[in-house]
Amino acid sequence: MPASTISTASPSRAASYDNAKVVNRFDLTKRLVAKLRKDEAVIGGIGNTNFDLWSAGRRPQNFYMLGSMGLAIPIALGVALAQPRRHVIALEGDGSLLMQLGCLTTIAALKPANLTMVIMDNGLYQITGGQPTAAAGIADYVALARAAGLAKSAWAADEDDFDSLVDAALAEGGPTFIAARIDDKPGVGTTDRDPVQIRERFMHGLGVRARP
Amino acid sequence: MDNANPAAARPWYEIVQATLKRNDVKLVAYVPDKVFTPLIKNLHADKDFLTFATAREEEALGILSGAWMGGRRGAVLMQTSGFGTIPNALASLVVPYQIPAIMFVSERGTLGEFNLGQALVCRTMRPVLESLAVEHHTITRHDELEFIVDRSVKQSIATQAAVAFILSPLLTGGKVFEK
């Protein structure tokens, strides 16, 4: 009986930290961006997460966060609450999430159906010199998210599974929490660091500002 | 805080709520404070507002920033010690990205404070606001509350700049030592 239960479950739900393949952040980011057809908003967290988002192709619906480590998911929540018909995706690193774990409980309480969180977990503060986080190899972010009240939380078993999880998040609604184990390759490229320009372009992209 | 003007019979928290509503500031994130209890209770009861607690004050600033960029105005409620946790979010997100974050701070640490920690963190608040050139008003008088909040919310949005309202115990009664 347990075997049949497992076979009918989504393979993604069966993935765990231990059996998840170590994949590449830029590859996953490109896969994610390629799926976006409805002007979905994407919030890139500090450092490599938004460097890879930038390098995956500029979109006016992308927001690049240059400081405020840990706030990519809260920013995405704010956009999701303001525009319930637009899907919003937060791309965040494991160290950043660790700074703001409490935001998962806020999201679990508010249940925004149009919010997806993607956590890129390499267990490192990569941009500051690759120091391991306190949680590396100890804490399981998907288990933490589930315990915070986010039932739709899963490890990506590999690249194809990541694709399936993103497809499901966009189609079925959430909130959805997807974590992927990634390697320690640095981000590709560097975001232009002009906060006002980033915000204005994003607001144009969200239809809040008229086109110039 | 008593006022001889009968037109000012509404309590401070009703004035704040009505002024936010009139200015279409209808998303309120908060980390609780005893003094804010009636305001929080009434905001939750008012279905025109989306009112919710966050785990941290900087989290609330992130949410307000996203909501503003998505076209929805918001405010955050916090206590003085909560303000002590947000300078990085102000300096690296709210100020450089020009987000009109509307902040209400219930002032602890003065006029009868009983907790030394609160008294010390209170000393850091205005220097931080000054150093970031964030507009701030300490509101002590009931008859000035509506004018200050209404005008400053409008200014915040028009100039895309944050504003902090520090609500003095002279206005709210504050939190007193009850053993």
- In percent, the amount of chain B with pLDDT more than 90 equals 89
- Is A212 among the domain residues? no
Low-confidence ranges of chain A (pLDDT < 70): 1-14, 212
**Residue B86 scores a pLDDT above 90:** yes
User: Residue A96's closest CA among A63, A73, A64?
Assistant: A73
Residue type, A109: A
- Is B160 among the domain residues? yes
- Is B119 among the domain residues? no
- Is B33 among the domain residues? yes
Q: How far apart are CA B95 and CA B24, in angstroms?
A: 22
**Residue B68 scores a pLDDT above 50:** yes
Looking at residue A84, what is its pLDDT?
A: 98
Condensed to tens digits (0 to 9), the pLDDT of residues A89-118 reads: 999 999 999 999 999 999 999 999 999 999
Structure-token match 């030592």, residue found = B177
- Is B139 among the domain residues? no
We report the CATH number of the domain holding residue B63 as 3.40.50.970
- Is A47 among the domain residues? yes
Q: Residues of B with CB below 8 A from A199's CB?
A: 69, 97-99
Looking at residue B8, what is its pLDDT?
A: 60
Q: How far apart are CA B156 and CA B91, in angstroms?
A: 17
The predicted model scores a pTM of: 0.94
Q: How far apart are CA A90 and CA B151, in angstroms?
A: 35
- Is B53 among the domain residues? yes
Query: Residues B93-98: what's their mean pLDDT?
Result: 98
Find the CB nearest A78 among B53, B67, B89: B67
10 Å CB burial of residue B45 (0-12, 13-18, 19+) is exposed
Looking at residue B134, what is its pLDDT?
A: 98
For the record, the structure tokens of A120 come out as 């890129």
Residue type, B135: E
User: Residue A49's closest CA among A68, A25, A31, A73?
Assistant: A25
Residue type, B128: V
Residue B57 DSSP symbol:
H
Residue B179's pLDDT band (cuts 50, 70, 90): low
We report the CATH number of the domain holding residue A131 as 3.40.50.970
Query: Residues B72-82: what's their mean pLDDT?
Result: 97
Looking at residue B15, what is its pLDDT?
A: 98
User: Buried (b) or exposed (e) across B136-162, using 16+ Cβ within 10 A?
Assistant: bbbbbebeebbebbbebbeebbeeebb
Q: Tell me phi and psi for residue A210, to 5 degrees.
A: -70, 155
Q: How far apart are CA A2 and CA B72, in angstroms?
A: 48
Looking at residue A210, what is its pLDDT?
A: 84
Cis peptide before A175 (omega within 30 of 0): yes
Q: Residues of A with CB below 8 A from B93's CB?
A: 65, 67-68, 71, 75
Interface test with B, best of A39, A81, A197 (most B CBs within 10 A): A81
**Residue B1 scores a pLDDT above 50:** no
Condensed to tens digits (0 to 9), the pLDDT of residues A76-89 reads: 999 999 999 999 99
Please list the residues that pair with B164 across neighbouring strands: B103, B136
Q: Which residues contact A57 (CB under 8 A, 6 or more apart)?
A: A30, A33
Tell me how many domains chain B contains.
Answer: 1
For the record, the structure tokens of B17 come out as 């709520």
Range of the domain at A134: 2-205
Minimum Cα–Cα distance from A110: chain B residue: B52
Q: So what's the ipTM on this one?
A: 0.95
Tell me how many domains chain A contains.
Answer: 1
- Is A211 among the domain residues? no
**Residue B13 scores a pLDDT above 70:** yes
- Is B121 among the domain residues? no
Looking at residue B176, what is its pLDDT?
A: 80
Helices (H), chain B: 12-22, 37-45, 57-69, 80-83, 87-89, 116-131, 142-159, 169-172
Query: Residues B114-142: what's their mean pLDDT?
Result: 96
Range of the domain at B94: 6-113+144-171
CB A194 within 8 A of CB A64: no
- Listed by number, the residues of chain B in 59-88 with a beta carbon closer than 8 Å to a beta carbon of chain A are 59-72, 74, 88
